[in-house]
Amino acid sequence: MFLDIETVPCTPDFSGASPELRDFWEKKSRSLREKEEKSLEESWPSAGIYAEFGKIIVISAGFFALSEGKRVFRIKSFYGDDEKTLLESFAMMLNKHFNEARHLLCAHNGKEFDFPFIARRMLINGMRIPQILDASGKKPWEVKHLDTMELWKFGDWKSYTSVALLAYIFGIPTPKDDIDGSQVSKVYYEDKDLERIERYCRKDVITVAQLFLRFKGEALLEESEIIAVL
């Protein structure tokens, strides 16, 4: 399963957070604020990348399947203002359909961000982590996680390579033709356009799947092979 998540700070602005959380953010963001010369309020949008200060608003997930003997890519999004509800729906799908040894999860920078963020937010919401997502106590070869950024590094750990750059060099339609990650919080809290964020997240998942196909030397997905599941 290929997946991507979109996250935002837990409140629209710094002043809306609890006094305790504001104190914790003041400590957490100190180096960021000094480096970028930002105030606490100005640094708050960055809180969305930390599971302790943010929340998930979209999870898009897709997988390859056969339909009448032909390859298709089925994709579904879980999104909404109620994080626990969308996490429960996503966990239910994982537990029901992706709980065998042959199944894998794949995301771009997923080992560093998506997978641990989802797991942490599930714990914060009082949920049990689905087996395929839970890496705790497992040996490296028992963890069923793939990361297209890690695959691209070939053991080189010097730098981060974005989905957009890889899509460009491989001739894959860019997922960044509307908004990018830095704009998600504004689109969510100010524009209140969750549907737009879901479309952006879904495009990212398709792009990650396309990258994986390129890495495997296989043909890219055609538009007719991509099926949105309601």
* 88 contacts: CB under 8 Å, gap ≥ 6: 127
Token pair listed for 54: 């943010």
pLDDT in tens, the chain (230 residues): 999 999 999 999 999 999 999 999 999 999 999 999 999 999 999 999 999 999 999 999 999 999 889 999 999 999 999 999 999 999 999 999 998 889 999 999 999 999 999 999 999 999 999 999 999 889 988 999 999 999 999 988 777 899 999 999 999 987 566 788 889 999 999 999 999 999 999 999 999 999 999 999 999 999 999 999 97
Most distant CA atoms of the chain, gap in Å: 58
Report the alpha-carbon distance of residue 196 to residue 186 in Å, rounded: 12
Contact call for residues 127 and 88 (beta carbons, < 8 A): yes
**Domain range summary for the chain, segments of one domain joined by +:** 2-228
CATH class of the domain defined by 2-228: alpha beta
* pTM more than 0.85: yes
Helices then strands, each counted (H, E), the chain: 9, 6
| Among 215, 227, 217, 207, CA closest to 2 | 207
Element (H, E) at 183: none
